[in-house]
Structure 1
Amino acid sequence: MSQTKPADTARGPAGAEGGSAPGPSRFLLVTGFAVLLLSYLANAMDRQVFFPLLPDIRAHYGFSLTEGGSLATSFTLGMAIAGLPAGYLLDRFSRKTVLVVSIAIYSLGTLLTPLSSGFTDMAAYRVLSGFGEGMQTAALFAVIGTYFFHRRGLAFGGTAVVFGTGLILGPLVGVHLATVFNSWKAPFLLFGTSGLAIAVLAVFLVGRRLTERAGDPRVTTATFDHMPASPYNRNSIALAVSSAVSGLVVYGFLGLYPTFLISHLHYTTAQAALAASCVGYGGMLALVAGWLGDRVNQRSLLIVTYLAVSATSLLVYQTQVTVGWQCLFAATMGFFAVGSLYTNHNSAMQRAVRPHQVGRASGLFISSYYISSAFSGLLFAALVNRFGWSQAGMWQVTLLPLVAVVALVFVQPARLLTAVRSAGAR
């Protein structure tokens, strides 16, 4: 096991100090990144396919709304459990190994889901899938955050575009396959098999010089004594609290949005899938949100984003509109909730720590975001059963973001390693 080096100089993960090894060829670099992004696309499709098929799954097993809501977001519990251990492993061992193993784990969980006999084992398979997705996401963010050190906001925005594409394709492809094969099980079998194939591709096409080294030579020469020595400092903890609120809000919305459209607004399954897929169109604008995060006060940007989420949720849950309007509202929510909140929490948390600690920052982000997400569907379903859809949306998606705004007040922007500040350390 590699020993942790002094924290005042930046470095890559174990075995990659100083960036002294020659970089990979452009072809291998592009190919490796393409496979990594393909794996993230599969990750996103895996997560999203369950939601529009939930009414059919509930009918097949006789699950209650509360049980269905819990299953819809239970995979996030696995992601939360994976976050901190993955962060520890990523700062000490091969990121490529973590990536490949994690893709295989979440694909196996997806394959097992349609083989469930009831609620308990389906929940276990969903958690297993989430565990692999959490490991893979933390590893991917650590690789990209290190390689694109000074423009990580823009880089994370690019990965969020890929994620948004998965949000678009997941419901549409999943419902289409379920219709063609007349079975809700078909999409899970196809997506799980595809994930295993991607894991094999990663073994041969993703080079360790891509995953283990820092892409920017300034990372290896600059000093960061002005940054907190611990990865768990005032900024990272405040951002983690805000991120946890984001998980409750975003997955409370995503997990039961198609069910809301079908049961409350009486949309068809196809219409609900179309509206849910529009979240992904908004998420694809994450490139803009990430670009802004590299250039403006990220604390202020996150606060404005939360206020926009609250305003959009009023339109979603408090109005009776046509499918076209709901598609617009879903796309707007996708931009603010998926595109901006996710991207800027992720990059800000890495900027709250020294460069050699990005693995643990990624793990903290994944854990904080998804531990609350794991219970978001259960909470939303309980609120719906008690107060109805409109009031549930008001409490969890409209008012809850204000708690995150309070947490963000404690963030000290001057102690975030922004692109402007770090660029000065040439």
Structure 2
Amino acid sequence: MSHATPAPARSRPKAETPAHDLPMRTIVTGSLILLFSYLLNAMDRQVFGPLLPSIREEYGFSLAQGGTLATVFTLGMAVAGLPTGYLLDRFSRKTVMLVSIVIYSLGTLATPLATGFADMTVYRIVSGFGEGMQTAALFAAIGAFFSHNRTFALGCAGTAYGLGTFIGPLAGVQMQTALGSWRLPFVVLGTAGLVITAIALFAVNRGLTERADERPASIAGNSHLPASPYNRDSLALALSAAISGVAVYGFLGLYPTYLISHLDYTATQAALAMSFVGFGALLAPLSGWLGDRVDQRKVLIVAYAALSVTSLFIYQTEVTLGWQCLFAFFMGVFGLGTLYTNHNSAIQRAVRPDQVGRSTGLFVTSFYLCAAFSGLLFASLVEMSGWGAAGLWQVTLLPLVAICVVACVRRAGFADRAAADRPAD
């Protein structure tokens, strides 16, 4: 039964200041603070991989246990996705973001205190839960405020993530080298998260975070969308996102271990190569700009194909550090910069404007749920058949399956996005 008016469906508080009345300085300042908090989020996620060999050595963890710890934080992100999406459609996005940063910062601070595999796993999951909450809230806020250039704006957030991915591994190894302890990076990042929370509390205007998606339901491209946020297109995109999570995070979680244990790289060399993944993700705004202008199915298909080809060079050849940095750069371009950004945008466009929060939660859950076990899967494949075969199955062939899934998406579900995202005359 339909409601007479759509407004009551959302009980989330309105912005204190209308979005169109916000001074440019307020928008820029608030956006930079939010993006910096997401940069810390990325550093927090990616600092663990380069430190994993030292952590394994101290605790005596097996490769499978190390692989699990490297990616299990994504289980927390997955668990956070759907409930956070529900909350975002009803409550303040700013509040959700601030609480989420506190949660993952406390989990990060607790990680060096772990006494073994079990409690370190719990701390990693807690960190991931907070990171997932922040990711969903940030993407919903950005997607709504910049709805006319949604994918480009999400690409800019991807740049912050890429920069954090670039800085995190290098900074973590440098801090470990300077003080001879892998624990310091976690203390620094956890503390930084609490500080940025305090700054955002006073410096980010609610008008920036609470804006409603402005796509009118009467515009072609919106009125024909299904009533449910869990429709054919959004579910197909969620499945594709899940596959990309397994492939991309399987690579991210154990790439430094692969370089160190199989190719005999030093920890510094492995961190350098890993940082180029983040460097590639800095091109996310370009892929977002492209996704705002062409069929996003084609963008996703090309990115999957490029990811598959790149992984062949990484795992089936033994090349120099320079080549590994180049291939890692391409993994960042296509895995984080293109697939992540365009999945996120497309799944928002596959639902009605008042369902953006739930679609974002669906994306976060889908992407990170399977990614949580990608490290364990990769490590198990390595133990059974070696690095080359593991890379072939999980990072080369799996993206080809995702191409078939993306091909099932009906472009009509969000084909008229140019009209839908354009202000009404």
Q: TM-score range by the shorter chain?
A: over 0.9
Q: Which residue among 320, 327, 330 is the counterpart of 1:322? A: 320
Choose which of 337, 360, 363 in structure 2 pairs with 1:362. 360
TM-score, normalised to structure 2, is 0.95
The amino acid of 1:181's aligned partner reads L
Distance apart, 1:29 and its partner CA: 1.6
**Does structure 1 residue 126 correspond to structure 2 residue 135?**
no
Query: Which of 389, 392, 401 does residue 391 from structure 1 map onto?
Result: 389
Aligned to 2:245: 247
Aligned letter for 1:256?
L
Structure 1 residues 289, 7: CA separation in 2 closer, same or farther (over 3 Å shift)?
farther
The answer as to whether partners of 1:12 and 1:146 remain within 8 angstroms in 2 is: no
Q: 2:143 touches 2:213 (CA, 8 Å); kept in 1? A: no
Correspondent of 2:139 among 132, 137, 141: 141
Contact 1:23 1:210 in 2 (8 A): no
Please, which of 275, 293, 300 is the counterpart of residue 273 of structure 2? 275
Aligned to 1:287: 285
Q: Structure 1 residues 47 and 20, CA, compared in 2 at 3 Å: closer, same or farther? A: closer
Q: What is the distance in 1 between the residues matched to 2:331 and 2:218?
A: 41
* Equivalent residue in structure 2 for 1:27, among 18, 25, 28: 25
Cα 1:221/1:229, change in 2 over 3 Å: closer
Task: Kindly indicate whether the alpha-carbon contact (under 8 Å) linking 2:19 and 2:208 is maintained by their aligned counterparts in 1.
Answer: no
Closer, same or farther: CA 22–328 of 1 in aligned 2, 3 Å: closer
Q: How do residues 83-102 of structure 1 correspond to structure 2 at under 5 angstroms?
A: 83-102=81-100
How far the C-alpha of 1:287 sits from its partner, in A, is 1.0
Inter-partner Cα distance in structure 2 for 1:5 and 1:20: 25
Q: Could you tell me how far apart the structure 2 residues matched to 1:207 and 1:319 are?
A: 51
Q: CA deviation at 1:97?
A: 0.5
Q: Is the 8 A contact 1:10 1:356 kept in 2?
A: no
Aligned counterpart, 1:201: 199
For residue 228 of structure 1, give the secondary structure of its aligned residue in structure 2: coil
Which range moved further: 145-154 or 388-397?
145-154
Counterpart in the other structure of 2:80: 82
Whether contact under 8 Å (2:217, 2:353) holds in the other structure is: no
1:8 Cα offset (Å): 6.7
Q: C-alpha separation between the residues in 1 aligned to 2:75 and 2:4?
A: 33
**8 Å CA contact 2:304, 2:403 repeated in 1:** yes
**Cα distance in 2, alignment partners of residues 384 and 181 from structure 1:** 32
Deviation at 1:421, TM superposition (A): 3.0
Cα distance change on mapping 1:79 and 1:418 into 2, 3 Å:
farther
**Which 5+ residue runs of structure 2 have no aligned equivalent?**
none
| Distance across 1 between alignment mates of 2:96 and 2:283 | 29
State the 1:91 CA deviation.
0.2
Q: 2:178 aligns with which of 177, 180, 184?
A: 180
Structure 1: gaps of 5 or more residues: none
The AA in structure 2 aligned to 1:108 is L
- Partner Cα separation in structure 2 for residue 352 and residue 191 of structure 1: 36
Match of 2:151 in 1: 153
1:7-39 Cα deviation digits (max 9, x unpaired): 87899872339x967632222221111110010
The C-alpha deviation readout for 1:384-414, integer Å capped at 9, x for no partner, is 0000000000000000111111111210111
**Structure 2 equivalent of residue 41 of structure 1:** 39
Cα RMSD after superposing both structures = 2.1
Is the Cα–Cα contact under 8 Å of residues 13 and 356 in structure 1 kept in the other structure?
Answer: no
Asked if the contact 1:10–1:221 (Cα under 8 Å) also holds between the matched residues in 2, the reply is no
Counterpart CA distance in 1 for 2:328 and 2:294 is 26
Gap change, CA 1:287 and 1:11, over 3 Å in 2 = farther
Cα deviation for residue 150 of structure 1 reads 1.9
Query: Partner amino acid for 1:365?
Result: F
Deviation digits for residues 76-124 of structure 1, max 9, x if unmatched?
0000000000000000001111000000000000000000000000000
Deviation at 1:214, TM superposition (A): 3.5
| Contact 2:148–2:423 (Cα < 8 Å) also in 1 | no
Deviating more after overlay: 83-92 vs 403-412: 403-412
Deviation at 1:286, TM superposition (A): 0.8
Deviation at 1:46, TM superposition (A): 0.1
Asked if 1:104 corresponds to 2:102, the answer is yes
Amino acid at match of 2:405: A
Measure the CA separation in 1 of the matches of 2:51 and 2:235: 36
Q: Which residue of 2 aligns with 1:376?
A: 374
Q: Distance in 2 between matches of 1:10 and 1:153?
A: 28
Stretch deviating more after TM superposition (6-15 or 59-68):
6-15
1:259-306 superposed Cα distances (whole Å, 9 cap, x missing partner)? 000011110100000000000111111111111100111111111111
- The Cα of 1:207 is off from its aligned counterpart by 1.3
TM-score normalised by structure 1 residue count: 0.95
AA aligned opposite 2:268: A
- Pick from 295, 303, 306 the counterpart of residue 308 of structure 1: 306
Q: Which amino acid aligns with 2:248?
A: V
In structure 2, give the amino acid aligned to 1:60.
Answer: E
- Residue 251 to residue 13, structure 1, CA distance change in 2 (3 Å): farther
SS in 2 for 1:267: coil
Separation in structure 2 between the aligned mates of residue 7 and residue 242 of structure 1, nearest angstrom: 34
What secondary structure is seen at the aligned counterpart in 1 of 2:173? helix
d(CA) in 2 for partners of 1:254, 1:10:
43
State the Cα deviation string for residues 326-375 of structure 1 (Å, max 9, x = none).
00000011100010000000000000001111100110000000001100
